[in-house]
Amino acid sequence: MKRLVLIPFIGGVVVAAGMALTEPATSRFYRAALIAAALLTAGSALITTHLFAKSDKLFAAWLLIGSGYGLAAIRYSLRLVTMFGGPELLGRAALDTLLIMQNLLIAIALWLFVRSWRATGLATPFSGAARTGWTLLGVGVAVIVGGYPLIQGFVTAKADTVLLVSTLGDMVGIALIVPLAMSALAMRGGLLMHTWLYLAACEAFWLLYDVWLALRTTLGIDAPLGPGIEQVIRIIAILFAFIATVAQRRALRR
């Protein structure tokens, strides 16, 4: 089970090889890697739903994760088609809707994971004060990280519903890192710990992605390093969601 954690980083190393290519091959390679990772994660999450009854709380959570990454794969694929000079199969509004749906589905799924743990009534190995403190810290980080692009968007008059919803989705995901990690810590020694831990790691890498985007612009890190690192972080984040699905299946099929 622990070896699963190598998968996201191996994926990251593979994608880093894209930095050695030249345009337009680089962008196409990154896009193809994203599609593969999103498809893998979507398929694996949907397979995981079979381990649950339809009325189980985690059935809905895995279904939403699968649907969210499925939509991401569609969006990435449409972009790849245009990269090869193909037609724009969907208009801007439809693409924006896909992005909004993807962000909403994944944010709701993660919230369902946290809510499922809380519904069990089980305690975490922390005092109430420590739990509240860490949770507030997570929310604070989410507000800072999510607030930056939001304010930037408003200042530059680029703010729209898409930016608002995708940023809010990011903020919810980041704010849930702490509750997900706490549930994982409570289950330390158990197989299910890996699922929750990898989901928390997935969101932590999305947090890193947002931080990198801000840093990259501020520090002026250009191609190939800037976009290359951006894609590496993205792949690692998606593949952490993938290994969470695998960990869930392995735990329940032991």
For another protein, the binding residues (CB under 8 A) are: 51-53, 55-59, 116-117, 119-123, 125, 186-193, 251-252, 254
Alpha-carbon dihedral sign for residues 187, 254, 64, 207? positive
Considering beta carbons, is residue 61 or 74 the nearer one to another protein? 61
175 closest CA partner among 124, 140, 210, 132 = 140
Phi-psi region of 86 (alpha: psi -120 to 50; beta: other; left: phi over 0): beta
Considering beta carbons, is residue 33 or 110 the nearer one to another protein? 110
For residue 56, the minimal CB distance to another protein (Å) is 5
Considering beta carbons, is residue 91 or 189 the nearer one to another protein? 189
Considering beta carbons, is residue 37 or 246 the nearer one to another protein? 246
For residue 129, the minimal CB distance to another protein (Å) is 19
Considering beta carbons, is residue 133 or 190 the nearer one to another protein? 190
For residue 4, the minimal CB distance to another protein (Å) is 17
Token digits of residue 82:
């245009």
Considering beta carbons, is residue 58 or 238 the nearer one to another protein? 58
For residue 251, the minimal CB distance to another protein (Å) is 6
Say if CB 43 and CB 66 are below 8 A apart. yes
For residue 51, the minimal CB distance to another protein (Å) is 5
d(CA 9, CA 50): 28
Token digits of residue 228:
């290359």
Neighbours of 29 (CB within 10 A): 18
Token digits of residue 109:
């799924």
For residue 169, the minimal CB distance to another protein (Å) is 24
d(CA 174, CA 167): 10
Residues in CB range of 149: below 8 A, 6 or more apart: 163, 167, 210, 213, 214
Say if CB 15 and CB 232 are below 8 A apart. yes
